[in-house]
Structure 1
Amino acid sequence: MRLGLCGLISFLFFCHCIQGQNPSRRATISGYVREIGSQEALIGVNVYVPGTTTGTTTNTYGFYSLTLPMQDSLRLAYSFVGYETVLRTSQLRTSQTINMDLTPGQALAEVDVKAGPRGEKVSESAQMSTIDIPIAQVKKIPAFLGEKDVLKVIQLMPGVQKGSEGQTGIYVRGGGPDQNLVILDDAIVYNASHLFGFFSVFNGDAIKSVELIKGGFPARFGGRLSSVIELNLKDGNREKLHGEGGIGLIASRLTLEGPLTRSKKTGQRSGSFLLSGRRTYLDILAAPLINAETRGQTKIGYYFYDLNAKANYDLGAKDKLYLSGYFGRDKFHSRDKVENSDTDLSWGNATGTLRWNHLFNQKLFSNTSLIFSDYKFQIASVERGTTDNQLYSLQYNSGIRDFSLKYDLDYYPSPDHSVRAGLQSTYHRFTPSAVVLQNSAISQLTSNVSTIDVVESGVYAEDTWRPSSRWRVNGGLRLSYFKQKDVGYFRPEPRLSGAFMIKPDLSVKASYALMNQYVHLLSNTGIGLPTDLWVPTTDRVKPQQSQQVAVGVAKDFVDKGLTLTVEGYYKDMNNIINYKEGASFLLINDPTSANSVRWEDNVTAGRGWSYGAEFLLQKKVGRFSGWAGYTLSWTQWQFAELNNGQSFYPRYDRRHDISLVGIYELNKRITLSATWVYGTGNALTMPLSRYNADRPGMSFSSVDGGSGLIQGLFQNGRIVEDYGNQKNSFRAEAYHRFDVSIQFHKQKKHHERTWEVSFYNLYNRRNPYFYRLEAVNSTATDPGRTALFRYSVFPIVPSVSYNFKF
């Protein structure tokens, strides 16, 4: 595999080097683009020749390279959403380095129209099914309890289905929560939620950029079927100490960033740092209420915290070091004095990334990363007797730990080619479960599942190519390899996407991607809770695989600052796994007999398919900004051992999904924003009838489809619910809500402060959270009737928060 990659990369480089070599007539301009005042590297800045389609964009580290014919006067433009466009004229007689600083603010309208910034045009990009969301917009959108959350903003995008009420679960084009590759500074985050899924682990104050890719995946990404969510932390302010934070109803946060040492040679700052922390105080707020309710007999506490840290240092003009990390934890504790029992739950992530950038020359840029990622979930429960002798003890642990090496090359031979190639190898250690049970009646029993060690590797090469003024193509190949004991899988993954320009601002696009996934998430709920279990591909469980085809149209309305994309897709998924009927992670071990059971015995493999259409009208800048999104989709799964082998709609299949987001800058002091969302109800499995198992035939009745009621008489005995033969045949009521917020800004001499008042679910829609069958008007002699009850969790929820910058 290594020889194949080396040959592929060498061939691409050789071809492009021949094309790009003509030193007597061509020269290269390269450099870094940063934000003025902070020297923060800017990702995705458009560097182009005005009035032409010749240009490039900065990479993840703010680097760009552009090779052009030599000329006496060259005019270059630097443009980026949310920043003023800069025009620079210079001679291009020899290769040179030009570093550029951009000023935050609105781009000049007359420059946009006359120069025609190519990089801001969605219609000119070969990539499709990709959405980047400005962090400035994320901070202005209404948020649940005032906590700004990038994952919940991603949920507002077409093609992304939301999970249960208020949760951060993400389901992209029919895929499950485990099929999303969530990356923070190159490190995988396996569980991206706090508070059992109601908040994500990402603090918006520390995030520099976020991008969602839901189809047409570039070859540099692999390991998941449905989406890539790439997040990058801020580098830190190189000019001065800067801070921001906020105080909300349930949590507070603080971020500090500033310069490190100053270079003796250049006099400029040679590095910077960032520290960002957040903690909730739910445990402090809830303690008095719980004590009053239980008279001090029960103590329940919960809190979460997270910490982001990053430092970077310039080793010289061509070498830079970056060290970043994340650590977060959720902790729940319950102490019952009456039962004399304790229960503890904790889960969290830890990541670390050490990166080395090296500039070989003006056309070749490299990055080497050492990456660590660790996710753990733990349960500890103890019951004691009246004399404190231990009667029962249960401990459950699961997790996944990664060590990775990643090497990437960016090569810019000419304006018509941008080549990327690299490799990554990850050593996974899975702990599917480890249970220790002690019981005084049956002595001490131990049942453990040993750790599972596997290696996952991939190599890739891709080229973004402009064969003519009308065509844009991104083609690539990824070779993935997975090894677990004596089992190995080698899979090629071709990728291709392209755009054809019908007009300067209108294009048609198409893409194809084959993806493989070697890790799986076992879930009973499909919500993505910390109790879900990460397991690897084995000799009995094959890798998941998907093929996705998408076609679409992209249109830019340059004078209005609008972009419109319409896409249709079809995705086929094979070897997806699910629990068998009645199985769960708690049944993986049998402590009563101390026999170990392989988790593979509790799962079944199947396939799924999804297809639909998506519409997105987006405006990123201006006094009024936001987007309108609509999704029409169908998703079905089929497992040989579920639903009698018949296909069924998974829980989060939604026929219609609508999101409307608006942000309006009333003036410099007041910002208004609102969101409205609508979605078809979830597909659920509900009982069709109930009957008395002790007296069969006495009373049997079915659901009334109109009223949703189950009526009948039941005698004393065990009641059995009949779910029928069709899984998820019941549709919950449609979900919709309206959120609003208003921000009041005040600029002081040395700091800025913002008060925000928001209302979640303004018109108090009682959206279904779950359904339950319950007896109505029952007595000792009359069982009454049975009705289907809907339960909601969030009515209108007001919140107030205070935010500051200095």
Structure 2
Amino acid sequence: MKHPLLSLFFLVWYGLSASAQSPANRSTVSGYVREKGSQEALIGVNVYLPGTSTGTTTNTYGFYSLTLPAQDSVVLAFSFVGYESVQQTVFFQRNTELNIQLMPGRMLSEVTVTGNRSGEEKVSESARMSTIDVPIDQIKKIPAFLGEKDVLKVLQLMPGVQKGSEGSTGIYVRGGGPDQNLVVMDDAVVYNANHLFGFFSVFNGDALKSVELIKGGFPARYGGRLSSVIEMNMKEGNKEKLHGEGGIGLIASRLTLEGPIQKGKSSFLVSARRTYLDVLARPLIRAESKGEAMAGYYFYDLNAKVNYDFGRKDKVYLSGYFGRDRFFARETPKKEVSDKTSAGLFWGNGTGTLRWNHLFSEKLFSNASLIFSNYTFQIFSDQESTRRNGNALETETYQLRYNSGIRDVAFKYDLDFYPNPRHSVRFGLQTTNHKFTPSAIVLKDTEAEQFRTEVDAIRVQESGVYAEDTWKPNERWRVNGGFRLSLFQHKAVNYLRPEPRLSAAFVLKPDFSFKASYALMNQYVHLLSNTGIGLPTDLWVPTTDRIKPQQSEQIAAGFAKDFTKAGSLFRGMTLTVEGYYKTMKNIINYREGASFLLIGNPESANEVRWEDNVTAGKGWSYGAEVLLQKKVGRFSGWLGYTLSWTQWQFPELNFGKKFFPRYDRRHDISVVGIYELSPRITLSGTWVYGTGNALTVPLAEYSPRPHQPVNNPSNGYYPGGFIPFFGQTANDYGPKNSFRAEPYHRMDFGIQFHKKKRHHERTWEFSVYNLYNRRNPFFYALQTKAGETPTAPSTTVLKRYSVFPVVPSFSYNFKF
């Protein structure tokens, strides 16, 4: 099964390499674009000939290549949002290397920068659609919950992205679940991107250089998920001088340091963050305890990166992330005869990426990556009971360890080929060795004389090769076509699946285009979740002989408009309107009453497999999205609107009938605004609205009346219904998720005060989450109220519970 993959890869390589020979009358200008002052590589910089559609963009490592007819001289323009544009005259009759440094744009000159955007690759001129990038600078200015800037919560404000529960970082894209998002940081997959049970993400914005969200029309280089790709790249580190930034907030502090190892050649970046909730709560816990007690929660994360520039042709990068959440409690009474207890819940991610860039020629750029990713989750409970038996002390011990996780070791090789200004070709391969541990149990019970160790490890291989071409056949057409071939191997089960991709844009008139895309995606890993909110108890499991791969097909169409007319109220803005239709097959969910914890009767536990707890089904999602966005200028932000429908169907859920999943929302609106009032004051605000979640709640409650005769108490039946056993009540829930929660809406506001000192810059930030104190529903529960008089009947009502009222916060941030 491996031979088709290798054959296709070498066939593509040979064909493209053979076409790389340039005619004698053409020359190539190539090089790197970096930020002036730090030497940080810039991604997506537009390189073009002013007044023409001839141009290209820099890749993930800041490299570009442009082949033109040989001539005495040519003027090249370099432009990028948030940076001052540069024009350079190039004299060449042969291949030329040209490295450029761009100066970050200042607030007072941003109006001028915006005026020079006419030469950039506009949204209307790009073949790609359903793609959104958010400048890191904007993310840092948007008001945040408890002052913690969060990349995933900003992405929730984009059209097509549904939010999870109140305050959580859950991402649900175009009807997909949280497992259908490919979250990548420096080529490494992050499997659980949540801190604090989903209220914060693991991504520290101070360490990130770029964030991009792809919702559809996926380029062929991406695979393995159905709904979205969230690609993040860490900063490389300042190659010129030591630089740092950090902040002190209500619940956490952070610090980032970057600087040269060898000036101009290599650099480092270290970024750390930690909460101190456990430290703040410790005095209160000790005051309430009669013995030695400790309980608390905290999380921490660490990003690190080093790189070395060996010259024009070779560069090496080593980056990693490590983070942990720890929730723990223990009590040690001072008495000799007592019970000592401790319990905890730990989870965390670890990633590592070693990358090597090599430049074969002015037209062929390569990157090889060796990738490691590890996610672990553990529950533990220990109890030690000491009792006196006569004059002797006897100790009984109970210990339970439950672990689950997923570990990846992967190799990835990509090539970027630039044969001429009309073609930009990418091709490559990736292979990943997954090790899943859905259940690892260690049990020790001295009283019951039970000792058990079980590890259920599953090893699988996932591979793929791809080729794609961004093609400009003429002044009107822009096409990105590609093909991916994926292979999954697990014991005797092999899946070889083709995945064609196509995106195209037709320029109807300057600054206005029509776009359409098609993508077929396969997913070989699954997430088992009872709640759908991304808790650490969710399990990653692979495709097996009983569980087939998930698959989706998505088509999308719409138009894009750039507003560039001088004097226009909307100048500098972009407008995209898209409609989509997506089908999903073999999506999985827990059966009714199933649990992630595979612990049962010790004698039969070995017979329990996670496949026994799930059911497979299908889904449909369709809708329309509108995004009006402005990235630069004194006033920036966006307005997003989503109209969508999502339905699932499982043969063993809801009697086999279709139902709306929990996070199906008919309407979703987000408004984000950032205003630079002056160089010292920045105002920001957000307002969001969403249709209520679909929930399953009791519609009626049944109970036997006092002294009511019961036909057959032994089996619990009585006239009019079924009672589990006499004297208790039973609830009628009706169809699954047939109840709609109240609409969700909230406003946040923030203000930042900047001041530049002699050697550093400081920022005080004050923000308010849920400004007008909206009591948004977090969950619902039945509550019985007694009658007003002793003889009056009681009533049962459905009560709404909220978790976050108005929440003010402040933080102190600094740079040097």
TM-score (norm 1): 0.94
Deviations 1:367-392 (A, max 9, x none): 00000000000000123324383353
What are the residue-to-residue correspondences of 1:381-396 with 2, within 5 Å?
A: 381-387=381-387, 389-396=395-402
User: Per the alignment, in what secondary structure is the counterpart of residue 489 of structure 2?
Assistant: strand
Kindly indicate whether residue 740 of structure 2 is the aligned counterpart of residue 731 of structure 1: yes
| Paired positions, count | 785
Matched-pair contact (CA < 8 Å) for 1:566–1:616 = yes
What is the match of residue 517 of structure 2? 511
Matched-pair contact (CA < 8 Å) for 1:417–1:463 = yes
Over 3 Å counting, the alpha-carbon distance change for 1:290 and 1:638 in structure 2 is same
Q: CA deviation at 1:11?
A: 5.8
State how far apart, in whole Å, the 2-side matches of 1:526 and 1:501 are: 41
Matched-pair contact (CA < 8 Å) for 1:437–1:446 = yes
What is the match of residue 460 of structure 2? 454
What are the residue-to-residue correspondences of 1:169-568 with 2, within 5 Å?
A: 169-262=170-263, 269-292=264-287, 299-336=294-331, 340-387=340-387, 389-440=395-446, 442-446=448-452, 448-559=454-565, 560-568=571-579
Q: CA deviation at 1:92?
A: 2.7
Deviations 1:345-369 (A, max 9, x none): 1000000000000000000000000
User: Per the alignment, in what secondary structure is the counterpart of residue 456 of structure 2?
Assistant: coil
What is the match of residue 670 of structure 1? 681
Matched-pair contact (CA < 8 Å) for 1:698–1:714 = no
Which amino acid in the other structure matches residue 124 of structure 1? E
Deviations 1:291-314 (A, max 9, x none): 445566853211000000000001
Larger displacement relative to structure 2 (552-561 or 627-636): 552-561
User: Per the alignment, in what secondary structure is the counterpart of residue 432 of structure 1?
Assistant: strand
State how far apart, in whole Å, the 1-side matches of 2:498 and 2:418 are: 25
Kindly indicate whether residue 43 of structure 2 is the aligned counterpart of residue 43 of structure 1: yes
Over 3 Å counting, the alpha-carbon distance change for 1:181 and 1:24 in structure 2 is same
What is the match of residue 767 of structure 2? 758
Which amino acid in the other structure matches residue 349 of structure 1? N
User: Per the alignment, in what secondary structure is the counterpart of residue 581 of structure 1?
Assistant: coil
What is the match of residue 716 of structure 2? none
State how far apart, in whole Å, the 2-side matches of 1:229 and 1:403 are: 20
What is the match of residue 715 of structure 2? none
Over 3 Å counting, the alpha-carbon distance change for 1:260 and 1:722 in structure 2 is same
Q: CA deviation at 1:556?
A: 0.2
State how far apart, in whole Å, the 2-side matches of 1:288 and 1:115 are: 57
Which amino acid in the other structure matches residue 771 of structure 2? L
Matched-pair contact (CA < 8 Å) for 1:613–1:633 = yes
Deviations 1:413-455 (A, max 9, x none): 0110000000000000000111233345532142624200000
Kindly indicate whether residue 610 of structure 2 is the aligned counterpart of residue 608 of structure 1: no
Which amino acid in the other structure matches residue 407 of structure 2? R
Q: CA deviation at 1:232?
A: 0.4
Aligned-residue CA RMSD (Å): 2.3
Over 3 Å counting, the alpha-carbon distance change for 1:554 and 1:442 in structure 2 is same
Deviations 1:450-490 (A, max 9, x none): 20000000110000001111000000010000111111111
Which amino acid in the other structure matches residue 314 of structure 2? D
State how far apart, in whole Å, the 2-side matches of 1:80 and 1:72 are: 27
User: Per the alignment, in what secondary structure is the counterpart of residue 408 of structure 1?
Assistant: strand
Over 3 Å counting, the alpha-carbon distance change for 1:52 and 1:577 in structure 2 is same
Matched-pair contact (CA < 8 Å) for 1:17–1:413 = no
Deviations 1:526-549 (A, max 9, x none): 111001111000000000000000
State how far apart, in whole Å, the 2-side matches of 1:746 and 1:611 are: 48
Over 3 Å counting, the alpha-carbon distance change for 1:17 and 1:455 in structure 2 is closer
Matched-pair contact (CA < 8 Å) for 1:378–1:398 = yes
State how far apart, in whole Å, the 2-side matches of 1:731 and 1:337 are: 47
State how far apart, in whole Å, the 2-side matches of 1:485 and 1:425 are: 16
Matched-pair contact (CA < 8 Å) for 2:423–2:472 = yes
State how far apart, in whole Å, the 2-side matches of 1:432 and 1:304 are: 23
Which amino acid in the other structure matches residue 35 of structure 2? E
What is the match of residue 265 of structure 1? none
Q: CA deviation at 1:72?
A: 1.9
Residue 118 of structure 2 is aligned with which of 116, 119, 124? 116
Over 3 Å counting, the alpha-carbon distance change for 1:439 and 1:782 in structure 2 is farther
State how far apart, in whole Å, the 2-side matches of 1:731 and 1:557 are: 39
Residue 782 of structure 2 is aligned with which of 773, 784, 790? 773
User: Per the alignment, in what secondary structure is the counterpart of residue 137 of structure 1?
Assistant: helix
Q: CA deviation at 1:719?
A: 2.1
Deviations 1:489-535 (A, max 9, x none): 11110000000000120000000000000000000001110011110
Q: CA deviation at 1:290?
A: 3.5
Residue 640 of structure 2 is aligned with which of 629, 632, 642? 629
Deviations 1:76-113 (A, max 9, x none): 11000100000111223111000000000057766765
Larger displacement relative to structure 2 (521-530 or 443-452): 443-452
Deviations 1:660-703 (A, max 9, x none): 0000000000000000001111100001111237989889xxxx
Kindly indicate whether residue 753 of structure 2 is the aligned counterpart of residue 744 of structure 1: yes
Matched-pair contact (CA < 8 Å) for 1:274–1:311 = yes
Which amino acid in the other structure matches residue 93 of structure 2? R
What is the match of residue 589 of structure 2? 578
User: Per the alignment, in what secondary structure is the counterpart of residue 474 of structure 1?
Assistant: strand
State how far apart, in whole Å, the 2-side matches of 1:48 and 1:576 are: 44
Over 3 Å counting, the alpha-carbon distance change for 1:295 and 1:645 in structure 2 is same
User: Per the alignment, in what secondary structure is the counterpart of residue 586 of structure 1?
Assistant: coil
Matched-pair contact (CA < 8 Å) for 2:500–2:519 = yes
User: Per the alignment, in what secondary structure is the counterpart of residue 260 of structure 1?
Assistant: strand
State how far apart, in whole Å, the 2-side matches of 1:214 and 1:696 are: 61
Larger displacement relative to structure 2 (499-508 or 287-296): 287-296
Runs of 4 or more off by more than 4 Å in structure 1?
1-22, 106-115, 292-298, 336-339, 693-699, 713-716, 778-783
Matched-pair contact (CA < 8 Å) for 2:396–2:447 = no
What is the match of residue 638 of structure 1? 649
State how far apart, in whole Å, the 1-side matches of 2:617 and 2:690 are: 27
User: Per the alignment, in what secondary structure is the counterpart of residue 679 of structure 2?
Assistant: coil
Which amino acid in the other structure matches residue 306 of structure 1? D
What are the residue-to-residue correspondences of 1:42-121 with 2, within 5 Å?
A: 42-105=42-105, 116-119=118-121, 121=122
What is the match of residue 147 of structure 1? 148
Q: CA deviation at 1:402?
A: 0.5
Over 3 Å counting, the alpha-carbon distance change for 1:349 and 1:697 in structure 2 is farther
Which amino acid in the other structure matches residue 671 of structure 1? T
State how far apart, in whole Å, the 1-side matches of 2:404 and 2:704 are: 38
Q: CA deviation at 1:397?
A: 0.2
Larger displacement relative to structure 2 (795-804 or 12-21): 12-21
Q: CA deviation at 1:595?
A: 3.4
Deviations 1:606-634 (A, max 9, x none): 00110000000000000000000000000
State how far apart, in whole Å, the 1-side matches of 2:609 and 2:6 are: 39
State how far apart, in whole Å, the 1-side matches of 2:86 and 2:123 are: 20
State how far apart, in whole Å, the 2-side matches of 1:28 and 1:134 are: 31
What is the match of residue 136 of structure 1? 137
What is the match of residue 661 of structure 1? 672
What is the match of residue 702 of structure 1? none
Matched-pair contact (CA < 8 Å) for 2:9–2:429 = no
Over 3 Å counting, the alpha-carbon distance change for 1:296 and 1:379 in structure 2 is same
State how far apart, in whole Å, the 2-side matches of 1:587 and 1:30 are: 57
User: Per the alignment, in what secondary structure is the counterpart of residue 530 of structure 2?
Assistant: coil
Over 3 Å counting, the alpha-carbon distance change for 1:110 and 1:698 in structure 2 is farther
What is the match of residue 709 of structure 1? none
Matched-pair contact (CA < 8 Å) for 1:428–1:453 = yes
Which amino acid in the other structure matches residue 468 of structure 1? N
